[in-house]
């Protein structure tokens, strides 16, 4: 493994339905990501730009460990699209058709089914303390304007159902709800419209990042919330700004699939790293 300090830092750029990631492979060495590095790389003007950074690390009793970072330098507990992208990459390199991936969310399973990479994002968290919320309320009817649903998927999510997701001032409303006192760890915010019995339109604001073209854990949360409200079944297609995802709430967890793109591999210059 090459020395980061003298020869730069190799990374991949990937995206899942427009939800874009910097992927750093640190297997065989120690983790390299710090809050300062995440902020610098996340700057779309002076760095690389990403919605999340995913760092691969070695794992005991799993195929790999994944850490997730937001562009503001905070860590994320889960990232469904990045997990799918990394799983597709590792499967392609190794020839494996199933992986066990350790994350802050827990041990996640990825499988290749009919040419699609599916990731089990785990069982949804529907207790107010697990989401988490600041005090005891009914997660199915949060005490906020718009009557949203609270769901935990490793990240907290606040899901609003609205007649027209396109009409929502996402930059304004998303930022307001992210920092509402009801969410002690802040929250992702989804605005969802019902298009059909198992078809949703979703737009998303991610905590620590802002507006993104897609969000895998958010798609899972929206699917769970729609099923809980009796709007859909447990398997739904979600149309996001960057493409379509499928979330399937099965007995063993919420499974997620969708498109994966490996865009390029490049290297961060040593001078950039030394300036941090």
Residue positions annotated with a catalytic role? 79, 215
* Cα(9)–Cα(148) distance, integer angstroms: 42
- Are residues 234 and 94 in contact, defined by beta-carbon separation less than 8 angstroms? no
C-alpha pair distances (Å), 151 with each of 79, 123, 159, 221: 15, 10, 8, 6
According to DSSP, the residues that pair with 191 across neighbouring strands are 160, 203
From 63, 119, 66, 70, select the one nearest 95 (Cα to Cα).
Answer: 63
- Are residues 188 and 204 in contact, defined by beta-carbon separation less than 8 angstroms? yes
From 131, 157, 155, 238, select the one nearest 192 (Cα to Cα).
Answer: 238
- Are residues 193 and 163 in contact, defined by beta-carbon separation less than 8 angstroms? yes
User: Positive or negative, the Cα torsion across 176, 181, 182, 188?
Assistant: positive
According to DSSP, the residues that pair with 16 across neighbouring strands are 19
């Amino acid at each position: 493994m090459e020395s980061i300090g003298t020869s730069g830092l190799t990374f991949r750029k990937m995206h899942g339905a427009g939800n874009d990631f910097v992927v750093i492979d640190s297997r065989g060495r120690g983790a390299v990501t710090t809050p300062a590095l995440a902020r610098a790389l996340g700057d779309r003007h002076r760095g690389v730009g990403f919605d999340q950074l995913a760092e691969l690390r070695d794992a005991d009793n799993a195929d790999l460990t994944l850490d997730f970072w937001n562009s503001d330098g905070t860590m994320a507990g889960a990232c469904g699209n990045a997990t799918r992208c990394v799983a597709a990459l590792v499967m392609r390199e190794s020839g494996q058709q199933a992986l066990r991936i350790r994350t802050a969310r827990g041990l996640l399973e990825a499988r290749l089914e009919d040419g699609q990479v599916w990731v089990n994002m785990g069982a949804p968290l529907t207790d107010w303390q697990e989401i988490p919320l600041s005090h005891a309320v009914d997660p199915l009817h949060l005490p906020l304007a718009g009557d949203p649903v609270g769901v935990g998927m490793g990240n907290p999510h606040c899901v609003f159902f609205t007649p027209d997701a396109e009409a929502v001032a996402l930059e304004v409303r998303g930022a307001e709800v992210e920092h509402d006192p009801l969410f002690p760890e802040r929250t992702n915010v989804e605005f969802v419209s019902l298009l059909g019995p198992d078809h949703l339109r979703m737009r998303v604001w991610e905590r620590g990042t802002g507006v993104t073209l897609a969000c895998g854990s958010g798609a899972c949360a929206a699917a769970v919330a729609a099923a809980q409200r009796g709007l859909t079944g447990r398997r739904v297609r979600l149309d996001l700004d960057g493409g379509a995802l499928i979330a399937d709430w099965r007995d063993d967890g919420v499974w997620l699939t969708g498109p994966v793109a490996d865009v390029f591999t490049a290297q961060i210059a040593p001078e950039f790293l030394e300036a941090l």
